[in-house]
Amino acid sequence: MRKVIRKKRRRQRKFYQLVFAGIFGALLLALAGVLIFSDSQKNQNASTILSKLASYQQKDGFLSDDLTSKSLSALTDEVKAKKSDLYASDVTKITEKITALKMDLDLQTQVNALFEKPVLTQKGVSQEAIKNDLTQAAVVAIKLSALTEKNKWATGVTSSISDAKSQLTEIASLRTSISTVQATPTQSAIDQLKVEVAKIKNAALAKSLTDQLTTLEDSLALKQKYADKKYIALTFDDGPNGATTPSILKTLKAEGVQGTFFVLGQQAQSYPNIVKQAAADGNEVSSHTWDHKDLTTLTAAQQKQEITSAQNLIEKLTGKHVPFFRPPYGNFNAATKSATNNALIYWGIDTNDWRYSTAAPVVQNALTAAHSGAILLMHDIHPVDVDALPQIIEGLKKQGYSFVTVSQLIEIQNGSITPGHVYYGN
């Protein structure tokens, strides 16, 4: 009997041992889970903060614009608030990085301040020239030059600063030379300047100056082409018109002539494809205001709106900028001249086409008054002009005239288009 009791008690002890072992194991597993989660959370917290710190440092060694004293203070406060959720080693690492960023931020603040008063401005060089004309390396060198003693990036910038000064001197000299050549251009002078421009290290600036020289070269070629020729510009107002303008364009194309169309914005809106075709054929297309109001009866703001609303639509349709417009009725005042950064185009010959129902008097007016360098006014909205145009072109060709656009005419006569100036032609 006693043996049975002892066996029973042994079985009970083993049972309780297993129960306690299971409970203890479960507790250990739960604790381990908590520790693992805590460890994962701490690593995640540290990783998030370190990633944010890393984002403030750009590849070129300079700091992101997002980094400010305020953002660093906020980050410091965040670290303090999450200190219990971070490992001590991570807190130390993050604190060191924040301190280093603060030092770099202070330094870059000083560097950026040099853009306001760059070293070279003391030598009469403008801030804009330093920003736009130099290579990036030279700009950085200038920014660092005032911090040589304490700037860790400033080692070896002396040669770059010297190079920057040399670049600016060469560029200033080139610009002076280009201005001089523009007054009396020759091909040899342009070619010599091209060689000098090719030496400029700033690619964007070199392209800009090369483009100027190319424009100057084209202008010289145009002047030489028409130096001993009679030339005239045909202009057409108030279109496009769905019935008549396509016939005008067809005649110009067939005759190999390019004209200048001063179109109304509301008409361009109604016939966008005609505007596109005019430009595609090589004709110039520019603003004649939106709906032909007399600009002198409008305020300065209203005048600007009338001119630019049409111009913006035309440029969108043609993809080309034409820096002039024609005021309706030829009426303008001082406000008209300053309303936009454009020139005004008048005319030297008025065919008075709107007065007639037949082509003969229109043709007579054009051919009788024709003279070299003239701007001839017609309209592409009257059927009479459709009939008169072929005869006018034929008659002018017989008189020895070549045909140019208004831009070409101004370039031949004046060299460049001046905003606010009124051009009448010769």
Residues noted as catalytic: 237, 379
> Do the Cβ atoms of 287 and 311 come closer than 8 Å?
yes
Q: Which two tokens stand for residue 122?
A: 């003391």
Q: Among candidates 233, 239, 260, 234, which has minimal Cα distance to 383?
A: 239
Neighbours of 272 (CB within 10 A): 16
> Do the Cβ atoms of 367 and 399 come closer than 8 Å?
yes
- The sign one gets for the Cα dihedral 45, 46, 51, 54 is positive
Nearest-angstrom CA–CA distance, 325 and 346: 9
> Do the Cβ atoms of 324 and 344 come closer than 8 Å?
yes
Nearest-angstrom CA–CA distance, 97 and 174: 47
Cis check for the bond before 240: say yes or no (omega within 30 of 0). Answer: yes
Q: What is the SS3 assignment for 329?
A: helix
Backbone angles phi, psi at 402, to 5 degrees: -105, 155
> Do the Cβ atoms of 121 and 127 come closer than 8 Å?
yes
DSSP code for 57: B
Q: Is 59 exposed, middle or buried (0-12, 13-18, 19+ CB in 10 A)?
A: exposed
What is Dmax (Cα atoms) for the chain? 149
Nearest-angstrom CA–CA distance, 345 and 410: 10
